[in-house]
Chain A
Amino acid sequence: MSMLGNKIAVLEQSLVRVPVEKARRLFKNVQRSIERENVHLKKQMEQLIARGQVVKLSDSSEISGALEILDSIIERVTLLREKLMVLRQDQVYIKEILAKRSDHIVEALNSLSTKDPNFAHWMSTRLNRLIAEYLLVRGYLDSAGKLVEDRNLNGLVDVSDIAFGKAIEYSLKQRRTAECLNWCHENKPSLKKIESDLEFDVRLQQYIELVRSGDRIEAMSYFRKHIAGAFSKNADQIYHALALLAVGPDTTIPVYKELYSEDRWDLLAQKFSTVFTTLNCMPPYPQLLVTLSAGLTAMKTASCTPHEEMQIKLLRASNFTRSALCPICYTELSSASEKLPYAHHTKPHVEPELVLLPNGHVYSKPKLIEHAKTLRLDSDTTICDPFTGQNFSIASLKPVYAT
Chain B
Amino acid sequence: MDESLKDPINIDPCIEVVDDLLGKLKTIRQNIYSAQNAAQAKTEGIAQLQTAIDDYTRSVASAQKAVYTGLSKAAKSVERTFKVDLSKAYDPSVFEGKLPDIDKAVALHLIRQGDFDTAKILCKEAHISIPKSTVDSFKRMYLIVNDIRQHKVDSAVEWATANREKLQQLYSRLEFELHAMQFVNLLSQPSRPDGSEPALDYARKNFPRFAADCMPEISKLTGAFMYRSRLNSSPYHDLFTSEKTWDNLEQLFIKDFCSIMSLTPLSPLYVAASAGSLALPDFVKMSTISSQKHAEWTSLNEIPVEIDLPKDYVFHNIFVCPVSKEQTTARNPPMLLPCGHVVAKESLASLSHNNSRHRFKCPYCPNECMSVQCVRIYFEPEDNENTEEMDSPMED
Contact = CB atoms under 8 A, between A and B. Distances in A.
Given A146-B117, A389-B394, A302 B327 contact: yes
A377 B110 CA distance: 43
B370 interface: no
A325 interface: yes
Given A71-B29, A123-B277, A143-B126, 18 more contacts: A20-B8, A26-B9, A70-B49, A87-B11, A88-B15, A91-B11, A140-B126, A143-B118, A293-B276, A295-B280, A316-B171, A327-B268, A336-B105, A341-B301, A348-B317, A349-B318, A360-B376, A384-B394
B22 A327 contact: no
Interface string A13-25: 1001101100110
Given A304-B316, A345-B318, A293 B18 contact: no
A330 B387 CA distance: 22
Nearest to A52: B46
B42 A124 contact: no
A27 B317 CA distance: 56
A299 interface: yes
A283 B276 CA distance: 17
A354 to B, nearest CB: 8
Interface of B: 1, 5-12, 14-15, 18-19, 21-22, 25-26, 28-29, 32-33, 35, 38-39, 41-43, 45-46, 49-50, 53, 56-57, 60, 64, 67-68, 71, 74-75, 78, 81-82, 84, 86-87, 89-96, 98-99, 101-106, 108-110, 115, 117-119, 121-122, 125-126, 169-171, 212-213, 259, 262, 264-283, 297, 301-307, 309-310, 312-320, 325-330, 334, 336, 340-342, 364, 375-384, 386-387, 390-394, 396
Interface stretch (A55-63, A158-166, A181-189): A55-63
B320 A348 contact: yes
A130 interface: yes
Interface string A36-74: 001001100100110010000001101100110011011
21 contacts: A10-B82, A52-B46, A77-B25, A78-B22, A84-B14, A127-B269, A143-B118, A143-B121, A146-B117, A146-B118, A284-B87, A290-B89, A293-B91, A302-B302, A303-B328, A314-B381, A320-B381, A327-B264, A332-B104, A341-B297, A399-B340
A311 B276 contact: no
B105 A332 contact: yes
A70 B29 contact: yes
A236 interface: no
Contact of B38 (A59, A288, A309, A328): A59
A62 B378 contact: no
A343 to B, nearest CB: 6
B94 A317 contact: no
> Chain A's interface: helix, strand, loop or mixed, by majority?
helix
Contacts of B49: 45, 48, 70
Contacts of B320: 345-348
Contacts of B279: 294-295, 297-298
A9 B382 CA distance: 40
Interface string A70-92: 11011001101100110110010
A387 to B, nearest CB: 3
B74 to A, nearest CB: 5
A312 B169 contact: yes
A206 to B, nearest CB: 30
Nearest to A311: B262
A102 B67 CA distance: 21
A333 B112 CA distance: 14
A283 B87 contact: yes
Interface residues of A, number: 157
Given A138-B99, A321-B316, A360-B384, A95 B7 contact: yes
A122 B361 CA distance: 54
B264 A292 contact: no
B18 A398 contact: no
A176 B353 CA distance: 70
Contact of A374 (B21, B45, B71, B171): B171
Contacts of B326: 302
A340 B272 CA distance: 13
A291 B273 contact: yes
A62 B125 contact: no
Contacts of B9: 23, 26-27, 91, 94
A324 interface: yes
Contacts of A60: 38
Contacts of B377: 356, 360-362, 400
Given A63-B38, A74-B26, A323-B315, A295 B275 contact: yes
B316 to A, nearest CB: 5
A29 B35 CA distance: 39
Given A45-B50, A143-B125, A325-B265, A342 B302 contact: yes
A65 B68 CA distance: 39
A332 B268 contact: yes
Contact of B382 (A26, A85, A98, A310): A310
A167 interface: no
A339 interface: yes
A302 B379 CA distance: 13
Given A23-B74, A135-B106, A333-B269, A322 B92 contact: no
Most buried by B among A19, A45, A341, A358: A341
Contacts of A45: 49-50, 53
Nearest to A45: B53
A402 B394 contact: no
A317 B381 contact: yes
Nearest to A378: B396
Contacts of A87: 11
Contact of B86 (A11, A59, A123, A350): A11
A310 B380 CA distance: 12
Nearest to B364: A401
